[in-house]
């Protein structure tokens, strides 16, 4: 069942712009090809989605662009109706405008609404790599390098190529090192958020600084790439307290995860090739009760699913080094 786009609640960004409270992700998790993803996007537009989260490294922007163009040509939507997000990949941090222009051309969208720095360092890995892959040129976070990339994004705003800047996969120590240096404040920060990985501290930090949290993997991503799977990972949707709430409403636990996310205040960006209509309907159907929200708040289990091992630099101990868990930026020499 399609949802009338105007009925989807909106969130106001720090720019004053209003955006949908839910978007559609486009990462196929190395399991779905560009054709399958673009077909889901086409269905998503017809279902009522108006926000789409893309990325150069997903390898499907050209196909998604064909879908956008067809929707424009058929009069289903106008460009102004869509909020299109994409990201500069790690190997293009010194050529941000080139990356942006290619995404605009591939997505056939004239401009980007929100352009993220996908990861806060230029540590590149090849598509479909395994968990043990390492790039010998990888290095720790650098304030100078990050701000150079960010300044290039600010220039893209000045040129009208992008409307808003986003950051992604940040930590509080990294944010503290750069937040006073922005000329144009980031509108959003994309980060992993789901019921068993709520990241309350950085969530509160972003809200306090008027930066909108955008949550990827909002249902715990059971279809994530194998390189991101570990035996100790928790399946959010199978936690008994969570499943009990879903049973009460007679819905899949994924719908409860999305309701929780939206009511909490983050923008979830689920991807599905089959269930995208039901995911969107979660925005306009019965909300969770305060008691149910409180129960889900107790399900935090520090269940990080995207460890990021492939981004480690020589000499780093393990994936924990990427996330600054002791309150300092690991191996950073210019913070």
- Catalytic residue positions, numbered: 58
Pull the structure tokens for residue 15. 């720019």
Query: From CA 90, how far away is CA 57, in angstroms rounded?
Result: 9
* Strand-strand pairing, 83-88 and 267-268: unpaired
What value, to the nearest 5°, has the Cα angle with vertex 28 and ends 26 and 32? 130
Name the packing angle between helices 34-47 and 61-73 (round to 10°). Answer: 30
Question: Within its chain, how far is the Cα of 7 from the centroid?
Answer: 23
Taking the CA atoms of the chain, what radius of gyration do you get in angstroms?
Answer: 19
Best CA proximity match to 236, nearest among 252, 257, 266: 257
Strand partners, 194: 197
Q: How many CA atoms lie within 13 A of 176 on its CB side?
A: 10
Best CA proximity match to 166, nearest among 182, 151, 188: 188
* Strand-strand pairing, 10-12 and 18-20: antiparallel
């Amino acid at each position: 069942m399609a949802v009338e786009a105007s009925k989807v609640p909106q969130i106001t960004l720090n720019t004053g712009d209003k955006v949908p409270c839910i978007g559609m992700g486009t990462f196929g998790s190395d399991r779905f090809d560009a054709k399958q993803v673009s077909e889901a996007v086409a269905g998503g537009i017809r279902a009522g989605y108006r926000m789409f989260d893309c990325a150069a490294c997903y390898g499907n922007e050209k196909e998604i662009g064909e879908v956008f163009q067809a929707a424009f040509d058929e009069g289903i939507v106008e460009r102004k109706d869509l909020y299109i997000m994409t990201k500069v990949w790690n190997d293009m941090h010194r050529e941000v405008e080139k990356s942006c222009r290619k995404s605009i051309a591939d997505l056939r969208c004239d401009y980007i609404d929100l352009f993220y720095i996908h990861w806060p360092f230029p540590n590149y890995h090849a598509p479909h790599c395994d968990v043990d892959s390492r790039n010998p040129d990888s290095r720790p976070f650098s304030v100078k390098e990050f701000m150079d990339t960010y300044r290039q994004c600010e220039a893209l705003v000045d040129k009208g190529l992008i409307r808003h800047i986003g950051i992604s996969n940040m930590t509080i120590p990294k944010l503290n090192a750069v937040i006073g240096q922005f000329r144009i404040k980031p509108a959003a920060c994309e980060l992993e958020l789901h019921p068993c990985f709520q990241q309350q501290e950085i969530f509160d930090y972003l809200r306090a600084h008027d930066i909108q949290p955008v949550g990827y993997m909002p249902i715990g991503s059971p279809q994530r790439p194998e390189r991101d799977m570990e035996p100790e990972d928790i399946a959010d949707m199978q936690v008994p307290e969570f499943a009990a709430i879903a049973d009460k409403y007679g819905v899949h636990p994924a719908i409860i995860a999305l309701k929780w996310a939206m009511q909490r205040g983050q923008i979830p960006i689920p991807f599905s090739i089959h269930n995208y209509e039901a995911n969107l309907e979660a925005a306009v159907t019965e909300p969770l009760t305060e008691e149910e929200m409180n129960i889900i708040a107790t399900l935090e289990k520090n269940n990080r699913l995207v460890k990021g091992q492939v981004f480690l630099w020589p000499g780093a101990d393990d994936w924990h080094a990427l996330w600054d868990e002791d309150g300092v930026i690991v191996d950073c020499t210019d913070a």
